[in-house]
Amino acid sequence: MQKLKVLFLCTGNSCRSQMSEGMLRFFASDQFEIFSAGIEPAPRVNPLAVRVMKELGIDISDQYPKHVREFLNQSFDFVITTCSNAKKACPVFPGKTTNIYWDLKDPTEARGTKAERLMVFRETRNLIYLNIMAFLKKYGKS
């Protein structure tokens, strides 16, 4: 059976979409072909995103930011935008695509001590987990 293709899209492809890609891959790589990209990709995946994912046993340290242009000629079953900026700038992909919007705040905008910023990254990660579980309940195989 052919895997369904999922693209996670955010502004910088350094946190939210990377964590989403890693988490869906962890739970359902047997069901989905999973990608992520950004409208304006950052130079690297945010180290705090890598750290909070590692706390769950999910390693995203080998992932890297990609520009959405790399995927424009591909079709996707699902395009999941993880922020309002990506939702507004999301290109149209060929084929029948289900567009899903997750309104996740950008954890890189958090201020304070490293511990306080880590808390914000964990909150974002936990919201992504809830969204991934809801997505799998609706679209995944039991």
Q: What are the tens digits of pLDDT across the range 31-40?
A: 999 999 999 9
Identify the helix (H) or strand (E) that includes residue 36: strand 32-38
Rounded mean pLDDT, 46-63: 97
**Assigned architecture for domain 4-139:** 3-Layer(aba) Sandwich (3.40)
What's residue 87's pLDDT?
A: 72
Phi/psi at 49 (5° precision): -65, -45
Q: Which residues pair with 10 in a beta bridge?
A: 38
Closest CA to 37 of 3, 6, 12, 74: 12
Residues assigned a catalytic role:
10, 83, 90
Q: Which two tokens stand for residue 10?
A: 């955010």
- Would the pTM of this model clear 0.85, i.e. be above it? yes
By the 10 Å C-beta count (0-12 exposed, 13-18 middle, 19+ buried), 109 is classed as exposed
Coil, helix or strand at residue 35: strand
Query: Residue 142: pLDDT band by 50, 70, 90 thresholds?
Result: low
